[in-house]
Structure 1
Amino acid sequence: KIVWMPTSKGRDQRSNETSTDELKVTDATNHLLSETVDVIDIIAGQDMVLASGHLSPHETIKLFEEAKTRGVQRMIATHPYDVATYPEMELIASTGAYIEFTFLSCMPTKQTMSPRIMSEQILRLGVEKCLVTTDFGQWTNPPPAEGMRMAVAALLDSGMSVDNVATLVKHNPKKIIN
């Protein structure tokens, strides 16, 4: 039901490496590749969900704008806060995409934000435009189910309401999948 654009080989993921085997969705002039448009059309035709993977903010915006015009109804920006500015996240959300926040970013192995900062950013963007996942599965982290329990507890501890947390981990994901 969900199609992810490139992750470990995406432009954003490869930006600090010299490898030439990155998977691209845009050409040298920043236009979407015809293959990318073909994938968008398949996603729209099959009523699937489009997830950005580890694309740059610019690529994500371009991808989602095109996907919206081609009939894709559900989109997820895969934890863009790692590389996107707040205005870029607002622009991504304006395409109708959900902004994914992952609890992995709050773990000691990654620690790019605290649960309090995560809560603040979610509330600023709008709970109805966001979702929270774990992005767990690595051997250095607890199992995903335990990670979700930890995420819920951390969000509640940061002052987020029970209703908002339920929207982030239950209601919005259900809207995306159904």
Structure 2
Amino acid sequence: MSAAVAQALHGLVDLHCHSGPSPFPRRFDHVEAARDGAERLGMRAMVAKSHHHNTVMDLLAMRGRLAEVDTEVFGGIALNSMVGGLNPHAVRMSLYMGGRVVWFPTISSGRHIDCHPEGDHFPTATVPLTVERIDITGDDGELRPEVHEILDVIQETGALMSAGHMHPEFIRQLFEVGRGRGMDRMIISHPNFVIGAEPEQCLEFTRLGAFIEHEAVMYDPEANMRWEPRALLEWIERIGPEHTVLASDMGQHNNPKPVDGFLRVAGALLDLGLAEKDLRLMVRDNPSFLLGLD
């Protein structure tokens, strides 16, 4: 892989790494993922994401090993049924103990369950799990009181709010409330996978202050999804690199390492004509802002 691509990615921040432990089979643990990024790309920071548990506790248990790695590693909590869904108490513990991200329902969202009722495109868990649907609105169509309580904690701590895997209409509703509160750290992941948000909807989200995250795992020819990098470039050009983040969404046992995914996808984007300064904006500057690093 070209040294020029590696140099363009130097200092990147990965907002979406699926390292372990996890009930889903993982390629490596959080420390090993961080070390690989530090050694090969000078990775500044990464976020360890789990659909099932608060990863802050993992990182606190691993802090002795993490102290030997230059990359900072942050955790957070996804509001799925395994943590009690819309659970303000779990959010407080995660963020007060150093968490930086709250993902609204991912595998427990109605959108995810409707799209993947049999779990296709997702690995089989190593232990029996029950996924229950979690909705952020009540019968009246308004956000549940627990959502507002969770937003209070996110706002107080300056954490990043992710829309999870929800339907675009629920995402819009959440971002509108966030914008009304003055929140400026909001993000939607892989709008064209599971969520099904169109570019025009994503432009609306950016006007509410949100960023649009795309995943290297979808565009790496050696990963298991294999979308065309040109489609990603079209999204970047439509939305604008100033509103875009490129993350890995890797760490699964059957996918390449995140660093390799970044190298191949970034190389393809540069070959297609993406400016290096725009690549740096998406992999370094924007995610650094969203994590509060700058």
Q: How many residue pairs align between the two structures?
A: 177
1:93 maps to which residue? 206
- Aligned pair partner of 2:133 in 14, 18, 22: 22
Residue 15 of structure 1 aligns to a residue whose secondary structure is: helix
Matched letter for residue 89 of structure 1: C
Shift of 1:50: 0.3
Greater RCO, 1 or 2 (C-alpha within 8 Å, sep 6+): 2
Aligned positions of 1:29-178 closer than 5 A:
29-82=140-193, 83-107=196-220, 108-111=223-226, 113-178=227-292
Shift of 1:67: 1.3
Matched letter for residue 91 of structure 1: E
Spell out, residue by residue over 1:144-178, the C-alpha distance to the aligned partner (whole angstroms, 9 max, x if none): 12222222112112211111111111111111112
Matched letter for residue 67 of structure 1: G
Matched letter for residue 106 of structure 2: T
Spell out, residue by residue over 1:67-98, the C-alpha distance to the aligned partner (whole angstroms, 9 max, x if none): 12123221111111221112111111111100
Residue 84 of structure 1 aligns to a residue whose secondary structure is: coil
Shift of 1:8: 1.0
Shift of 1:20: 8.0
TM-score under structure 1 length normalisation: 0.92
2:53 maps to which residue? none
Shift of 1:30: 2.7
Q: Is the 8 A contact 2:168 2:197 kept in 1?
A: yes
Q: Is the 8 A contact 1:26 1:32 kept in 2?
A: yes
2:52 maps to which residue? none
State the distance in 2 between where 1:73 and 1:90 align: 15
2:72 maps to which residue? none
Q: Is the 8 A contact 2:246 2:283 kept in 1?
A: yes
Residue 98 of structure 1 aligns to a residue whose secondary structure is: strand
State the distance in 1 between where 2:224 and 2:131 align: 28
TM-score under structure 2 length normalisation: 0.57
State the distance in 1 between where 2:263 and 2:213 align: 17
Higher-helix-fraction structure: 1
Structure 1 regions of 5+ residues with no counterpart?
Answer: none
Spell out, residue by residue over 1:114-167, the C-alpha distance to the aligned partner (whole angstroms, 9 max, x if none): 111101111111110011011011111111122222221121122111111111
Q: Is the 8 A contact 1:41 1:70 kept in 2?
A: no
State the distance in 1 between where 2:272 and 2:177 align: 36
Structure 2 regions of 5+ residues with no counterpart?
Answer: 1-99, 119-129
- Higher CA-based Rg: 2
